[in-house]
Each structure stands twice: as C-alpha cells, then as structure tokens.
A and B are shown apart, each in its own frame.
Chain A
Amino acid sequence: MSLDRVDLAYGDHRVVSGVSLTVEAGEFVGLIGPNASGKSTLLKAVSRVLKPLGGRIELDGRDVWLDLTLRETARAVAVVPQDFPGGFPFTVEETVLMGRTPYVGRLRGEQPRDLARAREAMRATRTLDLAERPVSELAGGERQRVVLAKALAQEPRLLLLDEPTSHLDINHQVEILDLLLRLNRSQGITMVIVLHDLNLAAMYCDRLFLLRGGTLAAQGRAEEVLTTANLETVYGSRVLVGRHPVYGCPEITLLSQLRAAAGPAPAGEPERAAPPVPARSDTAFVVHLVAGGGSSSELLESLVAAGHRVTAGPLNAGDSDWEMARALGVETVTMPPFSTVSRRALARTGSLMAAASAVLVGPVPYGHGNVAVLEAVREAAGRGVPVGFIEPEDSPVVSRDFTGGKAAGLTGLLLREGAVALAGSREALAWLASLSGTGGGVAAASRE
C-alpha cells in the first residue's frame, strides 16, 4: 500500500495534507498521533469511504480509487472499525458471512466455498462456539473477535484497523493484538492499525507513522519514532521514554501536569525507619542534594563521581532518584512511595542540610506535597549554608511549579538572598569545586 501526497477533507474542513507513506506487503505498521491528527481519516481514504481531494492511493501498484471497483477493493481490503453497530440481532455466523458479500453473486447466493471461508475465519478467531449467538448479546472482546472474523472472511491482503482495542480491557487488548500478530506472521496479511496506546504500538508494530495535524511528523521503527522530543512536540505533554523490561521496546510513562512527584500519602502508612545519620569526618566536603521525580539521577551520579560526599532527600521510596541514591550508597531521607513530605522527614532533611557544606537543589517538579522542602532550604541558607539551584534553560522552575507559584516564589526569594542559579551539572560541579577550594564556604569555615 502506498500513499502519495494525499489530501483529505470533510467538506471544507481539511484534515490531512500531503501525506506520503509506503507500507510493504506483510508489514505490521501502526498509525499514531493525537486526536484529530488524521489517522482514522487516512484509513477511510484507503477503504474508499472518503475520496481524497488530491494525491494517489495505490494497492499493489493499482490506484484504489481509479483502477479498482468497490467490490474489487472489498476483496483486497477489509476494515475493523472501533465500534460495531449491534442494533439488529444478526447471529455471529450471519455477521461473519456478510464478509463474503464482495464474493457472493446477487442471484447465486452463498456457495459452499463461502461457508467454508467463513468457518475458517471463525476458527482463526475462536468464535465458532458463538456461531448461533446474536452479536448484540456478546461482550466487547467477543464482539471484536467476531468483527475481525467478518473482516477475515473477506480474504483481505490488507487489513485496516481503527483503534480495535480502545473499548476493551487490557486482557482483551493483548488477546486481539496477539491474534492480529499471528495472522500477520502466518498468513502474511498486511496490517495497518490506528492505536491510541503508544506502548501497545511500540510492542506490536514493525514500524510506526506519527501524525500531527494531518501531516506525517515522523516514521520508522518504534525506537526512532517514540522519542521524548517527538512525543513532547506532537502531543504537547510530558513523558518519560524508558525501555520495556521484557521486550526492550520503548515504554512511555506519562507525567501529570498537576501531580507533584510526591503525591498525597496513603492514609495510615507508617514512615519508613530511616538509617541513623552516620558520624562523618570533619574534613569531608558534603553536598546535600534536593532531588526527586527522576530529575536529578544524572547529577547525583556526577556528584559522587566527582568525589563529593553526598546526602540526599527527602525522596520517595521507588522514585528513580531514590533508586540511584541507594545504588550509589548515598545517605538518604526516605519516605513511603508517593507520600507527602512529613514533618519528621523535613526535620531530618533540615539537619542533613545544616551539616552540609553546600545544598544543591535539582530541577525538581514541585507540588504541594514537597514544596515544604524549599522552606528547609531557606532555613539552611539562613544558617549560612551556600545554596545552588539547578535551573536548566529548557526547564525553569516556573515550568515545574505546580503549587500555583509558591515554589517559584521561594526559589526567586532564595536567589535574591544570595543563592546561585546553575544551568546544569557541569556548572554545579564547577561551583562546588570553587566552594571546596576556598575551604568549603561559610559553613565549613565556621565549623573549623
């Protein structure tokens, strides 16, 4: 299947402009993109529901709209829609047999061959047992398998699927997609699937096409398309791209615009007993790092690598910064997962900061759960501990502030009161080097 500079519109409303893409026979590709990016509309143009304003859509080298009759198209291309009307109670078998419509002569009726094809399709989708049931009485997953059986009865070379799993539970999502993958590998049916779920798209598709506002924004293998940069530009939302722990394909974690990294505490959960603060040598230069939400793992690593003694916290257990701190043997104030900073944790953090030669604040997302940490930082600064804020150009504190300005306000106040703004970890290390070089700053000096 290939699309060449295809333009599509509903009436005067242009939906797709100049999309060109090629899908090889036997491929399993996904169309992804935000709502109204034109994914489903593209499928409609291939299945001859919506005629393109311009461009060519070819199937095995023949123009779908010019060289093929509708009946011929229906023998080559089948569609699995998102939703299937169940108003009139056709049985499962009657529904699947409808897939033979492009083959059945009007006066001849269904031949044994048509019945056999329908049975095969039902066997492949495990819907034979449902044959006599009305489609309207089936559950979502069963119904979608029936719709798939109907599409398979058309003996298509190309199967177009418009979010076939969006109304299903996770077990049925995997069931349907596994079925599609099996059909793709065993029968060589080319699959073009519109998916909302990026993780499913990454898991199943050979290649992905990322659409944005009716144009093609990216295409290629999942690793090439599902990058933080692509997703943040196209979807305009914050995501973390990691690896699937089993398949190694990209795995997308969504980030809330509102939720702080440390959310509300689960009621009644006791705080984890923190290890006692070990006595440390007076000569060591100690940096306390305020981290969280996976913002500072890299920084933590480079601080330790630079030979500094580091303390950190408060951090929620399970947070990726916490994982890193634990891995590096960094002394950490630990709180239960997703809990708010408690008074006790704050007090311990305060004492670590007071004992530190410098306090470094990473590019942490602030919410009501953790903004109190900044108060502790201010208290430490009041005692003369030098304070540095990591303020990357692409992520200033205002963009991480979900407290309605409180965090940004405190940061600004601290900066005016003498704290240092640092652009990244390299500047941070330079700043720390200058502090330790001059005897570790005011705090260290006073201690000596």
Chain B
Amino acid sequence: MTRGLGKPAASNRRGTAAGRSRRAEGRPRAVTGRAKRGAAVAVLGGLLAAAAVAGIALGSVPLPVGEVLRILASKLPWAGSGIVPDWPGSHEAIIVSLRLPRVLLAAVVGASLAVAGGAFQGLFRNPMADPYVIGVSSGAALGAALAITFRPGVGLLGLGPVPLAAFCGALLTVLVVYNIARVGREVPVGNLLLSGVAVGAFLSALVSVVVVFSRRQLHEIVFWLMGSLAGRGWVYLGAALPYLVLGTAVLLYYARDLNALLLGDEEATHLGVEVERVRRTILAAASLLTAAAVAACGIVGFVGLIVPHIVRLVVGPDHRVLLPVSGLAGSVLVILADLAARTVVRPIELPLGVVTAVIGGPFFLYLLRRSRSGVI
C-alpha cells in the first residue's frame, strides 16, 4: 500500500517491471487485475478483522484478546455451543451491547462514506469532491439541530427524532439542490456543484441561527455536528446497514458507467451510456449512503474525501475495484479513529469528526506534496 503513495503516484502504480514482464508473457490483463483486486481485498480484510478485534478489546476496561475472540465465537450460531463460558458476565455485556454494535456501526459508517465519496468524485470528475459536496451534511445538521432543540416526541423503529430528522434533512437538501441545478431534463455537474455549495452555505447559516437560540442544547448540537459514535447501539446499526448494502450494490452495478462518465458526458454517450439517467441513479444512491451515515453518527469529515483518494493511488481509477476497496478501507479507518476517540484522552471522549480531521488533514497534505501532479 505504501508503494502506491510514491512520487509520481501514477507511474509507480503502472510502470513497474512486473507490469512489463506481465505484458511480455501475453497473459490477459483481467487476470492480473483480479489478482490485484484480490490482494487489496485480502489485505484490507485482515486489517478490518484486526481493527475490529482491537476496537472491541480496547476501551475504558481493556479486555484480553483471547477472551474477546471466545465471547464472539460463542455467539456464532453453529460453533458457539462448544465454548464453555469462563468469563465474567459483565465482560460479555460490555462486548455484546456496547462495543460490538459500536465497532460494527463504525465499519458501516466508514464504508458508506468512503463508497459515497468515491462515487461523488467520479460523478463530478473531481478528486476533491466528497460525500458532503452537494450539501447533504448541512441539511442533516439543520435537521438534527432542530430535533435537538425542539425535542419532538416522534420515533421510528426504536430510533429517536435526531437521526430521523437528520436523515430527512439530508434527503430534502439533495432534492432541492438537484432541482435548482436542473436545466430542463439535464443536470450539468457544474450546476450541481455550485448549487450544492450555495445551498450548503445557506443551511449552515440556519444551523448557526438555531445554535444561537438554543442555549441549553448548545453542547449537544455542537457535539452532534462534530460526529460521534458514543452510545450508538444495535438499533442504529440496523438502520444504517440496509442503506450500505443497497447503495453499494447500485453503485457497483453502475461502476462501469461511472468509469465512462469520467471521460465526459459526450464520450460516455458515445459509449452508449444514458448519461442523465445513470447520473440521477448514482446521485440518489450515493446521497442515500451519505444520509444514512450522517444520520447515524453526525458529520464525520475527511473519510469520504481521503479514503477513495488513497485507494485510487493504489488500485487505479476503475470504480469496479475502487468502490469496494474504498468501502473496506473506510471501515478500517473509522473503526481505528473511533478507537482513538474513546481511548486517547480517557476519560474524555473526543468527537469522531475531530479525530478523522486530525488524522486526515495532515495526511492529505502529505499526499498532495508527494504527488506533485496535484490531480490525484
């Protein structure tokens, strides 16, 4: 993975001796492409498992890894019966009702943001785009701030009003931005980007207004805005997971079209891609992914920007590989970031968004300096 971060990034990735000998042998490239994809998936899968175990084992009460693994194994439906419980019941409670859902939710949120970020970057043909580029985060923030301030007594499937309001705010914003950007039946990406920025700025101003007038809930709103997974249980996981599965499936289905869109609308049309329809679908899927993630844990920045960026350096811009690998990498990153958030300055828990920004900002600058071309 580190090799791909070299300078210049692109030629490191491509112009290797291995690449040339591969060509000389005349083996079809699809095989090696699949191998590369397989290697990336295997490495990240291992990292994901390790990060998850670490995330469960570490915390205010550190638990031995062996015990964690045995407790987890005992919960598996077919293998669990053979394991004799020799651990304190409190440990099992900590793992099952607190840490496991939190780590899983971190994985889901990270994957959602990274996949959505990759899709938005492709859609806008701009590697600086992120899942919040069309104002999803500001809409969600306004919804959440209003719900925190007025505390309406609504709920759905065990979810409180805040995630519901954030989700609705996010989707409403996307609809508004989309319709502002629309020219007849077409939605030029430039328009989409600009109206996203404008609407986002407007909504952020409204959030500030709400913050000013809600003195008592100020702390809670600010904390939500900075993103956190504190206290999120199985209900949140159950609400966010379907969007990840569905959204990622749709985006992978259109990954090839997304590649063609990178060449420009006309080029994509020449290749038989129905640009407007595909763009609408991708926009909807990526927005749903983002909205679900934001509703679950507030605004966690940088994940959706940086993860697809780094993954593209390693596996190339082909979305059929980029999106799933980004999803895995996003999971790993958010699990580790959440672990850091709750352990580094114990007993205070840092907001998750602060941790990702602290890790992500400098790393991003480092990447920009390394690849002078600046584009990727």
B266→A49 contact, CB < 8 A: yes
Known: A81-B266, A88-B125. A132 touches B316 (CB 8 A): no
Question: How long is the Cα–Cα vector from A102 to B256 in the complex, in angstroms?
Answer: 11
Q: 1/0 per residue A297-340: CB within 8 Å of B?
A: 00000000000000000000000000000000000000000000
Q: Is B349 close to A, CB under 8 A?
A: no
Interface residues of B in 1-21 (CB under 8 A from A): 10-11, 13-15, 19-20
Q: Are B274 and A70 in contact (CB under 8 A)?
A: yes
Known interface pairs A131-B29, A136-B10; A88-B270 also in contact (CB < 8 Å): no
CB <8 Å contact, B29 and A89: no
Which among A49, A69, A106, A132 is the interface contact of B15 at CB below 8 angstroms?
A132
> Of B20, B270, B271, which is in contact with the most chain A CB atoms at under 10 Å from its CB?
B270
Alpha-carbon separation in the docked complex, A91 to B317 (Å): 9
- A74-B271 contact given A49-B266, A106-B253, A134-B11, CB 8 Å threshold: yes
Contact partners of B158 in chain A: CB under 8 A: none
Interface string of B27-64 (1 = CB under 8 A from A): 01110000000000000000000000000000000000
Q: Which of A1-9, A92-100, A164-172, A348-356 forms part of the interface with chain B?
A: A92-100
Q: Which of B19, B254, B269 contacts A132 (CB 8 A)?
A: B19
Interface-centre pick from A78, A131, A134 (highest chain B CB count, 10 A): A134
On whether the beta carbons of A94 and B316 are closer than 8 Å, the reply is yes
Residues of A within 8 A of B264 (CB): 85
Do B317 and A90 touch across chains, with their CB atoms under 8 A apart?
A: yes
Q: Which residues of the partner chain B approach A87 to less than 8 Å between Cβ atoms? A: 125, 262, 375
Is B92 at the interface (CB under 8 A from chain A)? Answer: no
User: Shortest distance in angstroms between B254's beta carbon and chain A's nearest beta carbon?
Assistant: 8
A89, B274: Cβ atoms under 8 Å?
no
Least CB distance, B248 to chain A, in whole angstroms: 15
Q: Determine the residue in chain A with the shortest Cβ distance to B183.
A: A11
Q: Which residues of A contact B222 (CB under 8 A)?
A: none
For A85, give its contact among B259, B267, B273, B318 (CB under 8 Å): B267
Please indicate the chain A residues that have their CB under 8 angstroms from the CB of B91 in the complex: none
B10 adjacent to A89 (CB under 8 Å):
yes
- Is A47 an interface position by the 8 A CB rule? yes
- Contact status A84-B263, CB under 8 Å: yes
B256 near A104: Cβ-Cβ < 8 Å: yes
State whether the Cβ of B66 lies closer than 8 Å to any Cβ in chain A.
no
- Whether the Cβ atoms of A49 and B271 lie closer than 8 Å is no
A residues less than 8 Å from B263 (CB atoms): 84-85, 98
Shortest distance between the CB of A12 and any CB in chain B (Å): 13
Q: Does B77 contact A (CB under 8 A)?
A: no
**B272 lies within 8 A of chain A by Cβ:** yes
**Residue from B22, B127, B260, B317 with most neighbouring chain A CB atoms (10 Å):** B317
User: Looking across the interface, which residue of chain A has its beta carbon closest to that of B29?
Assistant: A93
Does any Cβ of B come within 8 Å of A48's Cβ? yes
Contact B272 A102 (CB under 8 A): yes
* Docked pose: A204 CA to B175 CA in angstroms: 52
Query: CB-CB < 8 A to B259: which residues of A?
Result: 90, 94, 98
Given A69-B272, A88-B376, A94-B316: 11 more A-B contacts, CB < 8 Å? A74-B271, A74-B272, A81-B266, A89-B13, A94-B259, A98-B259, A115-B28, A115-B29, A131-B23, A132-B14, A132-B22
Please name the residue on chain A nearest to B273 by beta carbon. A101
Question: Across the interface, do A47 and B270 meet the contact criterion of CB distance under 8 Å?
Answer: yes
A98 to chain B, nearest CB (A): 6
List residues of chain A with CB within 8 A of the CB of B253: 106-107
B318 to A, closest residue via Cβ: A94
In the assembled complex, the CB of A248 is this many whole angstroms from the nearest CB of chain B, namely 36
Nearest-neighbour CB distance to chain A for B83, whole angstroms, equals 40
A411 interfacial contact with B, CB 8 Å: no
Interface residues on A, range: 35 or more
Q: Which residues of A contact B274 (CB under 8 A)?
A: 70
Annotate B235-271 by CB proximity to A: 1 below 8 A, 0 otherwise.
Answer: 0000000000000000001101101101110110111
B312 CB to nearest chain A CB (Å)? 8
Is A110 located at the chain interface by the 8 A CB criterion? yes
Pair B272/A70 contact, Cβ less than 8 Å: yes
Q: How far apart are B319's CB and chain A's nearest CB, in angstroms? A: 10
B271 touches A99 (CB 8 A): yes
Q: How far is the CA of A408 from the CA of B116 in the complex (A)?
A: 72
Q: Does A436 lie at the interface of the complex (its beta carbon under 8 Å from any beta carbon of B)?
A: no
CA distance A79 to B272 in the complex (A): 11
The answer to whether A70 touches B273 (Cβ under 8 A) is: yes
Judging by beta carbons under 8 Å apart, are B318 and A101 in contact?
no
Q: Closest Cβ of chain A: how far from B349's Cβ, in Å? A: 39
Residues of B within 8 A of A131 (CB): 23, 29
Which chain B positions have C-beta within 8 A of A278? Answer: none
B30 x A102 contact (CB < 8 A): no
From A79, A91, A110, A136, B316 is in contact (CB under 8 Å) with A91
Least Cβ distance of A364 to chain B in Å? 49
Q: Tell me, yes or no, whether A73 is within 8 Å of chain B by CB.
A: yes
Judge whether B14 and A75 touch: CB under 8 Å: no
- Cβ-based interface call for A133 (8 A): yes
* Contact residue among B14, B260, B266, B269 (Cβ-Cβ distance under 8 Å from A98): B260
- The one of B22, B256, B273, B317 that contacts A89, using a Cβ cutoff of 8 Å: B317
Report whether A134 and B256 are in contact in the complex, using a CB–CB cutoff of 8 Å. Answer: no
A133 x B15 contact (CB < 8 A) = yes
With a cutoff of 8 Å between Cβ atoms, the chain A residues found around residue B273 in the complex are: 70, 101
**Contacts A/B (CB < 8 Å), 24 sampled:** A49-B270, A70-B269, A78-B270, A87-B125, A88-B262, A88-B312, A88-B317, A88-B376, A90-B316, A90-B318, A98-B259, A101-B256, A101-B260, A101-B273, A112-B28, A115-B28, A131-B29, A132-B14, A132-B20, A132-B22, A132-B23, A133-B14, A134-B11, A134-B14
Q: Say whether A154 faces chain B, with CB atoms less than 8 Å apart.
A: yes
Residue numbers in A under 8 Å from B11 (CB-CB): 134, 137
The residue in B254, B272, B274, B375 that gathers the most chain A C-beta atoms within 10 A of its C-beta is B272
> A388-423 toward B: CB 8 Å interface, digit per residue (1/0)?
000000000000000000000000000000000000
Q: Is A71's beta carbon under 8 Å from chain B?
A: yes
- A89/B376 in contact, CB under 8 A: yes
Contact with A along B293-311 (1 / 0, CB 8 A): 0000000000000000000
Report A-chain residues with C-beta under 8 Å of the C-beta of B256: 101, 104, 106
Cβ contacts under 8 Å, A44 to chain B: 266
A90 to chain B, nearest CB (A): 6
Name the residue on B nearest A92 (C-beta): B14
A120-155, CB < 8 A from B: 128, 131-134, 136-137, 154
Going nearest first, the 4 A-B pairs with the smallest beta carbon separation are A74-B272, A102-B272, A71-B272, A88-B317
Chain B residues contacting A110 (CB-CB under 8 Å) are 30
CB distance from A39 to the nearest CB of B (A): 15
